[in-house]
Every structure is written in C-alpha cells, then in structure tokens.
Chains A and B, each alone.
Chain A
Amino acid sequence: MDISLFYFLLLGFAILMYVLLDGFDLGIGILYPWFNSDAEHDHLMRSISHVWDGNETWLVFGGVILFGAFPTAYAQLLSTLYLPIMLMLIGLIFRGVAFEYRFKSHSSKIWWSRAFAIGSTLAAFCQGLMLGAVVQGVPSDAIQGSSLQLVTPFSLFTAVAVVAGYALLGCAYLVMKSRGDIQHKAAQRGRVLVWVVMLAMALVSLFTVLSDDLIWQRWFGGWQTLWLLPLPLLALAAARLLYRDLGRVRKSHHNKEQVTEKHEDRPFWLAVSLFVLAFAGLLVSLFPYLLPRQLSYQQAVAPEHSLWFMLPGVLIFVPLILAYTLWGYRIFAGKVEDFEEGY
C-alpha cells in the first residue's frame, strides 16, 4: 500500500475514534438539560469524569496527524475554518474545566453545570458546522471573506445532526452505565433520537449524492452499487435493533422487571455501528479529498522522510494506546456508583 494512503486512513481512524469516544461524552453534556436534579447531574458527570481527557486526546491526535502528514491541508483547513474552530475550543475549555470545578463548588455549582452543558453543545455544534462546510466545499476565498459563508442551510443542518448523533451515543452510554430513572430516561430520549438521527443521515446522504455528479457516479454508476448497498441496509438494521432494545429497557422499567445485561450494553454498540457506517459512507463519497474538489490527500502529503519517521511510532504506539485505554475502561467497568470515589 502507498504510504500516503496509509496516513489518509490513519487520519480517518483518528477522526472516527474521536467522534465515537468524545461523541458519547459530549453527548452526556448535550443531554444534561434533560435531567434536572443535582443527584442526576452528579451521576452524569461521574460516568465520564475518568475518561473524557483520554477521549479528547484523539482530537489532538487527529490534529497532529494532519499537521505531520498533510501540512498543506492542516494549514488550509484550519485557517479557513477559523471561527468554528475557535468557538469549538472555547466550548471544550469550559466543559473540560467543569469536571474539576463542579464537584468542588457549592454556590457556583449551577454555573459549572451550565458551562458543561453549553460548552459540550457548542463544541458538537461547531464540529457539525465544519463537517457541513467541508462536505459542501469551502469557498476558496473563505479565509478573507465573511465567516458567515460557512453558515449555510446545509451546514446548519449537519450541525444539528451531529448534536443529535452525539446525544444518541450519550443515551446509549447511559443505558449501559446507569440504573433506574436515569437509564429509563436515557432509553426514552434515545428512541426519539434514533428517528432524528436516521432522518438526518438520509437527508445528508441524499444531498451529498445529488450535489456532485462524481459522487453520484461513485454510488450508482455501475456494479459497485451492489458493493455499497450493505452500508445503508446495515445502518437501517442497526437502527431498528437499537430502537427495539431501547424500547425493551424502557418497558422493563414500567413492568419493574430486570433487563438483561445484553440489552443494556447492546444499544451502545449499535449506536457506535451507526456512526461507523455513516463514516464509511462519507469516506466513499469524499475519497480522495481532504478538502472536497480542491485538495486531495496526495496533493497535501508531506515528504516521505517524515511519513516513514512517524510510521514506527504509529505501528507500535497505537496498538499500545488501544490496549491501555481498554484496560482503563475495564477498571471502571460496570455501573456508575453514586458516591465520592477516588482522590
């Protein structure tokens, strides 16, 4: 395999990991306003306070892979998407510090709750906006022109879709990590979100395919349609199963019976697979571009010497990172307990 293609895929992997991992913990922040008691809020924060830092590190990883392997794209993308990036960073700052300060405060607790909820939502919204702007194709003079160029009906739509998608991941995570009322509420909201997310995915796919002849050709221009068909079909199947599982969790609360562990855990993995499939679809449409129709990965790639230098690091450390991340999650496996734990 061509080494630049390897880095293109690695970048995709980093972004996907980020979206999945920070997706569920940003999602918890987005869901925050749906829960109202202090105890519930404590519970939500506790469910992710030991993992958010590691999850966010994937964002940094994506950034530096782009920087190291595709410097031209790093420079162009980041400077054109200036304002949404800055706003996203500010959002991430507020939600990040809220973890530490909320548990240590009394009178200002409400403000940290707000910082967490608003910061998470803002960050997700900006990410969705950037996704939309990139898919649609950023105008080449965007860096000099008005920032409002990035705000189109389509990018606003993807922004809302990403917020809803992260919220769905958050719901599924809560179904896995919580009991009682919180689990119930998460399952209930999750069912609504499945609809929203599926609708959004359909519309975004439709728009992408219709907007560009080349992309249309890629999906429907021959035999490959057969190869690609499983993507939407699997997504539909996953969504259906997810909807049913969440329904079962919800119903068990009404009937006061125990849900099986399988039904508690599976929704999370189904939500994850929805994201993976959507991401794969996006990749099919956009390949080989980093900036659609402007900059392909081959055009942006760094000199080989730099790519080879990073390779052993990637091959050795990425598996290690995955291993100890998994270990970390296992240490905190099981339901979140409602008491002060740790330091």
Chain B
Amino acid sequence: MDIDSAQLSAILSRIQFAFTVSFHIIFPSITIGLATLIAVWEGLWLKTRNPVYLQLAKFWIKPFAITFGMGVVSGIVLSYEFGTNFSKFSELTGAVLGPLMAYEVLTAFFLEAGFLGVMLFGWQRVSERMHFFASCTVAVGTWISAFWIIAANSWMQTPAGHKIVNGRFEVESWFAVIFNPSMPYRLSHMLLATMLTATFVVMATSAWYLLKQQHQTFARKGLSMTLWLALVLAPLQALVGDFHGLNVKEHQPVKLAAMEGIWPAREANVPYLLFAIPDPEQEKNHFEVKIPGLASLLLTHDWQGELQGLQSVPKADRPNVPLVFFSFRLMVGLGLLMIFIAVAGLWLRKRGTLYQSRWFLRLCSVMAPSGVIAVLAGWYVVEVGRQPWLVQGLVRTMDVVSPLPAERVTLSLSLFVLTYSLLFGVYLYFFRKLIKKGPPELADLQQLKVGVKASGYAVAFTKNLADETQHKGAH
C-alpha cells in the first residue's frame, strides 16, 4: 500500500471514529441525567404520594427508553472500533485501557441492562419499592459507566501510573492510572453536563406545554423543579469548568493555547478573547474582540501572568486551532446562557410571573438541545485539542491506525453515515411524537396499580386499561 493510500485510510478511520463516538455521546448525555431524574421522581412519589411525580416518571421513561436504546446500539460499535480501526493502538495500550473497560462492562453495563428490563417492563410484576430500586440501580449503573470510560479517556489525556516495556504500555499503579491528574475534573464536569442536559430537555418540554396551555399542573411542576436544579447545577458547572481549565494549563498547555488563541511562545498580560478568528497560516488572530489581561487573571490569578502559546511547539505538534477555539467558546457561551436562564427564572418566580411570561417560556423551550450541543463542543475541545497525540505526548494518532485499504473504510464509513442519519431522524421523530402525546392522564395512573403481583388480576386489569387507552387514543 502506498503512502497516500495509507494516509487516506488513516484519516478515514479517524473520521469514522469521531463520527460514531460523537453520535454515541449524544445519547448517554441525555440518559445519565434522565435516569437520575426519573429515579428521583419515583422516590418523591413513594415518599409524598403526590401523583404528579408518578406522572413525571411515567412520562419521561418513554423518551428515556428510546434514548437508552440508541445509546446501547451505538456504544457497542465503539467497543469494537478500537480493534478494527486502531489496531496498533489497541495492541500498545490494551493492558491499560482494556481492564478499565472490562470493569465498565462488569460493574456498569450488565447492571444497567439487567435492571432496565424490570424498570421498563416490570411495573405490574414487582412491588413499588422493588421498582424504585430497579430505577435507582439503572441510574447508578450509568454513573459507574461514566466513571470507567472517563478514567480511560482521562488517562489518554494525562497519562500516569504506567511504564513502557518493549514499546508497549504496562501498568505500575492502577490507582495512578485511574485517578490520573485530569480524571476528577473531567468526571465531575461530565456528570454535571449530563445532569444539565437532561434538566434542560425537561425544562424545554415543560415550557412548551405551558406555551401551548396544555397539561398545566404537570408542566408547572416540571418547569419549577428544573429551574431550581439549573440554578444549582449551572453555576457549579462553570466553577468546575474553571478548575478544569487550570488543570489543562498544567498538563496540556498547547491545548490551552488553542482554546484561548494564544500564538506567541510566551505571553504576559494575556487578553481574554470574546471573539476572534484564529489563522494557523499566519499564526495570529483576526478580528479580535478582547478584554485585556483577563485570561492571565483567570488562569494564573495575576493580571500580568505568563501563559505558554502555540509557537512554543512546532506546527506539526499543534491541534486544529480554530475548531478548538470555537468549540470552547460555544460551550462556555451556552454555559453562561444556562446560568442566565436559571437566574432569570428565579427573578420571575419572585415576581410571580414565571408561568406567564411568554418570552421566557419561549427561551426555555428552544434550549432543549443546548446541553447536547455543549457536551459535543466540550468533547471536541478535549479530543481535538489533544491532537496530534492519542496518548498525550507518547503516542501519535497517525502512527497507530490499522493498515486497512482505504476503500474498506470508505465503505464502512458510508454505511455508518447512512445508518446514523436515518436513525437520528427517526429518533427525533419519535421523541417529538412522545412529547406531543403528552403525559398519561392522572386518572389512569391512579387506577394503574403498580406491583400487583397476582398475575391473573394484573393481566385482566392491564388488558382493560390497554383497551381503554386505545379507545381514548382513537378520538
């Protein structure tokens, strides 16, 4: 195989991985947060017996189910893609990453899958408490899953605890591998991100119902709860993100330079760029809109502080600066918007006009995809910012791609693009359909006994209910 074809194939493999992992992460970022919210609502219902909580849980479990399904099928692809498209990488790092992923499967994936069946289909077969337990287990499973995969990814960002024997990675200390320097920040930032994503999806839906004057009690409860949540989570996320940034400066200074658009090898009194167009050719920014000294202040806590810039390393060792730069601003911008909404919500609540102010409800309802967009942007900062390295400073991405013929990767990539585009359309269609259908009627819910174990009774009862609801649906 000649060089060009090898390069082409490597680039195609990278595009394929980026595409499939980006597709995958959309769903976990919704399900982790939503599973948690559903468990909370179910718990609140058991405690207070306020049926609105049951209504919330029962309504959101449907969008949750389709999202979870998408997450599972797209995740399986990823766990095989390391071997298919990055065979040399798998060989080099298998001894480090493999066990982490094995723990993810053992402690998380089986747990989620095992209890998901009961959570989705077990309403009539187990007691209320047992069902609640299943929901909690699924939620906890999703966090554990995030723990391990983030540990694996963070090790690639800030490797620690390993040694290199015959060119391959071996582990010296598992503790150091798992709790590598960036892991605590990345994990907390990611978990908060998923909570925020789910929060804003629920908030947007509730606001939309209020605008349409539908399902008032249900929507008010949803909006009110999520606004309180956002008020806590959004500022916390900004704070954690700030610490995360300091950590990046420590361990991946070139990535930080790309995030902030700093070109000179060293620069003091660095301005914060609100907007600019970084130009990798001329190694400078165009159209800068800046606040002098602010970046220095944020990152070194000193107006005059010095930061390392992109010119400190050769061009070949720099990431794609504009992509990192804009992704970072997109994420932070959305974060600030979330804080604004949470605060505005508090203010309107104090004035007593929360449920009436149409501009605010409209703003909330367009925020539905904001979390997912911020998550993707955040991951692009992390992953693209690490390039050209796959394991920071140790393994170069282009060196460890499988030597596949380019046509073969083109074929699989095309299949994925086709399949995923189709499925994404379908997913949005069904999500919308479920939202439009609205929550189950309170009256139905109160009838619907959860956990009636006598199967004959449960069978007859549910059959009745199914007929009734179908009857209603027909109108």
State the A residues within 8 Å of B (CB): 49-51, 53-54, 56-57, 59-61, 63-72, 74-79, 82-83, 85-87, 89-90, 92-94, 96-97, 99-101, 104-105, 143-144, 147, 302-303, 305-306, 309-310, 313-314, 317-318, 321, 324-325, 328, 331-332, 334, 337, 339-343
The docked-state distance in angstroms from the alpha carbon of A68 to that of B100 is 8
Q: Which of A63, A310, A317, A341 contacts B80 (CB 8 A)?
A: A63
Question: Which residues from chain A contact B70 at a C-beta distance below 8 Å?
Answer: 97
In contact, B408 and A314 (Cβ under 8 angstroms): no
Question: Which residues from chain B contact A50 at a C-beta distance below 8 Å?
Answer: 117-118, 120-122
Stretch at the interface among B108-116, B306-314, B326-334: B108-116
Question: Which residues from chain A contact B69 at a C-beta distance below 8 Å?
Answer: 53, 96-97, 99-100
Stretch at the interface among B44-52, B82-90, B285-293: B82-90
In contact, B95 and A86 (Cβ under 8 angstroms): no
Residues of B contacting A: mostly: helix
In contact, B462 and A340 (Cβ under 8 angstroms): yes
In contact, B96 and A306 (Cβ under 8 angstroms): yes
Stretch at the interface among B123-131, B220-228, B315-323, B339-347: B123-131
State the B residues within 8 Å of A (CB): 1, 58, 61-62, 65-66, 69-70, 72-77, 79-80, 82-85, 87-88, 90-91, 93-99, 101-107, 109-111, 113-126, 165, 170-172, 174, 402-405, 408, 411-412, 415-416, 419, 423, 426, 430, 433-434, 455, 459, 462-463, 466
The docked-state distance in angstroms from the alpha carbon of A288 to that of B307 is 56
Q: Which of A67, A75, A93, A339 contacts B101 (CB 8 A)?
A: A67
In contact, A93 and B106 (Cβ under 8 angstroms): no
Give the shortest distance, in Å, between B86 (CB) and chain A (any CB).
8
Q: Which of A75, A302, A343 contacts B120 (CB 8 A)?
A: A343
Question: Which residues from chain A contact B101 at a C-beta distance below 8 Å?
Answer: 64, 67-68
Give the shortest distance, in Å, between A143 (CB) and chain B (any CB).
6
Give the shortest distance, in Å, between B6 (CB) and chain A (any CB).
10
Nearest residue, chain A, Cβ from B413: A86
Question: Which residues from chain A contact B419 at a C-beta distance below 8 Å?
Answer: 90, 93-94
Question: Which residues from chain A contact B114 at a C-beta distance below 8 Å?
Answer: 54, 321, 324-325, 328
Question: Which residues from chain B contact A75 at a C-beta distance below 8 Å?
Answer: 83, 87-88, 90-91, 94, 402
In contact, A302 and B62 (Cβ under 8 angstroms): no
Give the shortest distance, in Å, between B203 (CB) and chain A (any CB).
22
Which of B87, B122, B416 has the largest count of A CB atoms less than 10 A from its CB?
B87
The docked-state distance in angstroms from the alpha carbon of A302 to that of B86 is 17
Question: Which residues from chain B contact A69 at a C-beta distance below 8 Å?
Answer: 98
Which of B85, B102, B171, B174 has the largest count of A CB atoms less than 10 A from its CB?
B102
Question: Which residues from chain A contact B106 at a C-beta distance below 8 Å?
Answer: 61, 313-314, 317-318, 321
- A74-B90, A340-B466 known, 13 other contacts, Cβ within 8 Å: A53-B113, A67-B82, A68-B94, A74-B98, A83-B411, A93-B73, A100-B65, A306-B98, A310-B103, A313-B106, A331-B117, A331-B126, A339-B459
In contact, B423 and A97 (Cβ under 8 angstroms): yes
Question: Which residues from chain A contact B120 at a C-beta distance below 8 Å?
Answer: 50, 342-343
In contact, B76 and A310 (Cβ under 8 angstroms): no
Answer whether A86 and B415 are a contact pair too, CB < 8 Å, given A75-B91, A306-B99. yes
Question: Which residues from chain B contact A72 at a C-beta distance below 8 Å?
Answer: 91, 94
In contact, B165 and A303 (Cβ under 8 angstroms): yes
The docked-state distance in angstroms from the alpha carbon of A99 to that of B430 is 13
Q: Which of B87, B91, B408, B426 contacts A83 (CB 8 A)?
A: B408
In contact, A96 and B73 (Cβ under 8 angstroms): yes
In contact, B76 and A56 (Cβ under 8 angstroms): yes
Question: Which residues from chain A contact B455 at a C-beta distance below 8 Å?
Answer: 334
Give the shortest distance, in Å, between A270 (CB) and chain B (any CB).
26
Question: Which residues from chain B contact A67 at a C-beta distance below 8 Å?
Answer: 79, 82-83, 90, 94, 97-98, 101-102
In contact, A310 and B102 (Cβ under 8 angstroms): yes
